[in-house]
Amino acid sequence: METMIEEMRGLVARHADRATPARLPLVVHQSTAPTPPTHGLYQPMLCFVLQGSKRVIIGERVIQYHAGEFLVASVDLPVIGQVMQACPEQPYRVIAMALDPAAIAGLLIDLPHGTEGATEAGVSLSTMTPELIDPLLRLTRLLDTPADIPVMAPMLEREILYRVLCGPQGPILRQIARSDSRLSRVRRAIDWIRQNYTAPLRVDHLAELSRMSVSSFHRHFKAVTAMSPLAYHKQIRLQEARHRLITTPADAARVAYAVGYESASQFSREYARLFGLPPMRDVARLRTGGALEEA
């Protein structure tokens, strides 16, 4: 098992600074030093840690994951991430694989047995097993042989998902794939917020969209995201505002109104509370050496 992980570390070291080949459903990343707390957005994925460790803050939850563990993110989640253990001799190295609900659903056709489970957490951790590491290594080797990707990658992605479905994280993957699961119903509300973040938040509308009562929706939304719908909406707005300020020349007030704020002063206060600095000072810092979140 350690030999396989060591080979993957070498593959990450060679390819971390290169573009991922088309149709390969993974991204490799490394960091040669600890990082400051950094805001970002985790999308549904499997994240396999090969070396080092990282801490993420998701709402009220703090999770630290280490070499030999993998993280399952089941929905889009605003996070604060910080690489905790890394150095030039032993960088933090990680492989992230996007989760495709359609691919999971296709596997469930051949795996009719198994329960959905009671878990609703948007992020969960497990230990990697030799049965999971083997197909992950073969998928990662395709970085060296991109001509093999169209034929081999779909089969290896399916095998990795199968191994996860057969393990402790299987109930979460089943919930991702099933449109009637509580997780999928909360995800409909999350998708609405992501697509309509400029609009005022109406929790009753989100509860109706999720086919839940308002009180039940609040409870399940917080179980998945570790934050209230209002806090999630605010973080999505502010992260979009930050992205606009970095990529498009504009003053803070104009961006505030563009993302749905009615008061530029309220926007500046909430921006500074989340990111630690007022908008324009934060953007100046990012442009001179800051970084956005990696897996």
- Condensed to tens digits (0 to 9), the pLDDT of residues 211-225 reads 999 999 999 999 999
The CA-based angle 138-157-194, given to 5 degrees, is: 130
Contact 28, 140 (CB under 8 A): yes
Rounded mean pLDDT of 189-218? 96
CB atoms within 10 A of CB 77: 24
Each residue's pLDDT tens digit, 133-152? 999 999 999 999 999 999 99
CB atoms within 10 A of CB 70: 26
Contact 186, 72 (CB under 8 A): no
For residue 125, pLDDT beyond 70:
yes
DSSP count for the chain of H helices, then E strands: 12, 9
| Token representation of residue 179 | 């449109």
Phi, psi (deg, nearest 5) at residue 58: -125, 105
Q: Write the class of the CATH domain 2-177.
A: mainly beta
What is the per-residue pLDDT for 241? Answer: 96
Contact 229, 221 (CB under 8 A): yes
For residue 292, pLDDT beyond 80:
no
Contact 146, 201 (CB under 8 A): no
Each residue's pLDDT tens digit, 25-71? 999 999 999 999 999 999 999 999 999 999 999 988 999 999 999 99
| Closest by CA position to 240, among listed 59, 79, 40, 80 | 40
How many CA atoms within 13 Å lie on the side-chain side of 43? 11
120 — pLDDT class (breaks 50, 70, 90): low
231-287 architecture in CATH? Answer: Orthogonal Bundle (1.10)
pTM for the model: 0.89
Look-up of token digits 């779909």: 154
